[in-house]
Amino acid sequence: MISIAELNRIMAVGFSPLSCDCTFNSDGSLRICVFEPASGRVDLLLTRVSPQGLDSIRSISNLIGELRTEIKAGRRGFAAMG
């Protein structure tokens, strides 16, 4: 697995001009929040993403592509706010 700092850097570039914040949950899963930085509007919030397989720039880029498709389709994974 790539470090959380590196994952955040790659995700930030992939979602620009939106912002993206990734953190680890206590169970080892990822919380991914994609939001509009000026307004704070959340476009996508996934609270339990498995980090398994996110071990290369290519795999993370594939995830970014899938999530961008979800955002464009209007399907949002809001499981919790805040």
Tell me how many domains the chain contains: 1
| pLDDT tens digits along 20-61 | 999 999 999 999 999 999 999 999 999 999 999 999 999 999
- 78 within domain boundaries: no
What DSSP assignment string belongs to 40-73? --EEEEEEEE--TT--SHHHHHHHHHHHHHHHHH
CATH number, domain of 67, equals: 3.30.160
- 30 within domain boundaries: yes
pTM of this structure:
0.83
